[in-house]
Structure 1
Amino acid sequence: MSTKTYNSLVTISVIIFIVIVPNKCNVSANESLSKYVKICSRNDVDLNNCVLESVMLLKPHLFKGIPELDIPSCEPLFLSEVKLVQGHGVMAMNSEYRNVHLWGFSNFTVHNMDIDLEKKLIKFDVNIPNLTMKSNYFIDGKILLFPIVGNGLFYANYSDVNLKVTITLEKVEIDHKIYIRGKEISLKLKIDKADIRLDDLFSGDEILGKATNDFINKNWNTISEEVNPTIENMMVDYLESYTNKFFNKYPLDVLFPDK
């Protein structure tokens, strides 16, 4: 899993939480939710815009995080370790990132919200204008036919990060109560531009290191197309677990009150 992966995971998870949980709960079911979001009725004729308003109300709180909603501080986001294994194609390598710090997540926006409760389908797009990362890294593999080996500091600036998310819901019965879950989550990730620097490549060889960094940045679109499917699959696995953690807290008659 790369840094951009983790940012995207957290972004989507928070938005999904906003869309499906707080906006369908009544205040008496969980008063803490109403402190941060606008409560939207499932019968609201303008449900899509109501949900978007909730997103905007929650957004200022994300800088410091909301412990009572299990939402961590996001400026910076921190992750102790992430791994990315890419075994074929343009990039074939193992890489690890430790002490990852990320800035820029809280500046996200949500677009094209489309909620169809009858079809149990939710679609939306997420954009983050800029993400900055700093971490320690280890990498061993190749890009095209060129070897890449290094262990040091990693810096990156990702511009115009975009995600298209589709969630299909299902009903399940637990202890004689009906709950909803994410039956299927699909997404597409696109990062328009990346400025990446890996220090101490090839045991500190400055000439080879600069050439490799320049190659990665100049060929970012090709590299990202190759790696994105692997990243998207890992994001989906994470999101299915994360979102259902919230779904399991509230039965259907609480999440979707008939009012």
Structure 2
Amino acid sequence: MFAIALAFVIVTTHVAAEIPSYIHVCGRKDPNLEKCILDNINNLKGKICEGIPELDIPSNDPLYLDKLVISESNSVKLYMKNTEVSGLCDFTMNNFTVNLDTLRFAIKISFNRMYMNSTYDFNIRILVPIAYQGKVYITTGNVDADVNLNFKMITKGAKRYIYLSKILLNLDIKDFENHYENIGNLGQLQEIIENFIGNNNEEIVKTFKPALEEAVSKVIISVTNDIVKRFTYEELFPERT
């Protein structure tokens, strides 16, 4: 959903002849450009969630993440694999700012609730190695996201193009609930896992959040650049109100 929403930030400024009629075009000189783009995104949530084949925008709800590295030390290795993140369609765009001179965008998004279904992979060495895989289900509430995007411009064949060069993503995960499938039947490993995870959700978030932010950022960069590479800078930002 991050990637889909950010793609619309770009696409909604494109010339009318190149985009579907259901998108309201926002001119570069529109004095209310930021509000115009923000209104577009909020009005098109349904299509954002479903994906838009004619614009090569896939559905990203659920969002699939191959591997998240939570811990990778000599004694403790903990990964989350084949993660599905859902609930991303239930979002609110709180704020959007753009500086076309520096090609920088800033967005604030709130999600009411997010769900993650994943496979956890523990490999813990105490006296002997202990390894186990199983399903984990995580639910978070009231997640806020600050997204800062830096674009760069290049020239190809006398035409100017932009691409997303850097993204700073900060997720504010206030709390979460987790359930480990069949963990009650693991004996000693159950105790090890519970001691490792502990009962302090704040510490878990500190460990888990950077891995999730990095994985989501890669998706945003990939999807956004797949879209903007098809249009010149002048097409993306026509000089009109």
TM over 0.5: yes
RMSD: 2.8
Q: Does 1:112 align with 2:102?
A: no
Q: Does 1:160 align with 2:142?
A: yes
Q: Does 1:245 align with 2:226?
A: yes
Residue 133 of structure 2 is matched in structure 1 by: 151
Task: List per-residue Cα deviations over 1:116-174 (Å, max 9, x = no partner).
Answer: 11222110111111012334x141146xxxx9853222212111222111111221012
Q: CA deviation at 1:213?
A: 5.5
The DSSP-based 3-state class of the residue aligned with 2:182 is: coil
Residue 4 of structure 1 is matched in structure 2 by: none
User: How many residue pairs get matched?
Assistant: 235
Residue 33 of structure 2 is matched in structure 1 by: 47
Question: Amino acid of the residue matched to residue 249 of structure 1?
Answer: R
CA contact (8 A) 1:196 1:217 kept: no
CA contact (8 A) 2:13 2:236 kept: yes
Question: Amino acid of the residue matched to residue 120 of structure 1?
Answer: L
Structure with a larger share of its residues in helix = 1
Q: TM-score, normalised by structure 1?
A: 0.78
Residue 210 of structure 2 is matched in structure 1 by: 229
Q: Does 1:67 align with 2:53?
A: yes
CA change 1:173–1:51 in 2 (3 A) is same
Task: List per-residue Cα deviations over 1:201-241 (Å, max 9, x = no partner).
Answer: 38x32686488469747312112113323333333333323
CA change 1:230–1:255 in 2 (3 A) is same
CA change 1:244–1:191 in 2 (3 A) is same
Q: Does 1:27 align with 2:16?
A: yes
CA contact (8 A) 1:165 1:186 kept: yes
Question: Amino acid of the residue matched to residue 132 of structure 2?
Answer: G
CA change 1:122–1:39 in 2 (3 A) is same
Give the alignment of 1:1-259 within 5 angstroms: 11-20=1-10, 22-28=11-17, 30-32=18-20, 34-35=21-22, 37-74=23-60, 77=62, 79=64, 82-87=66-71, 92-98=76-82, 100-135=83-118, 137-141=119-123, 149-201=131-183, 204-205=185-186, 209=190, 212=193, 216=197, 218-259=199-240
Q: CA deviation at 1:74?
A: 4.8
> Structure 1: how far apart are the matches of 2:208 and 2:179?
18
Q: CA deviation at 1:57?
A: 1.8
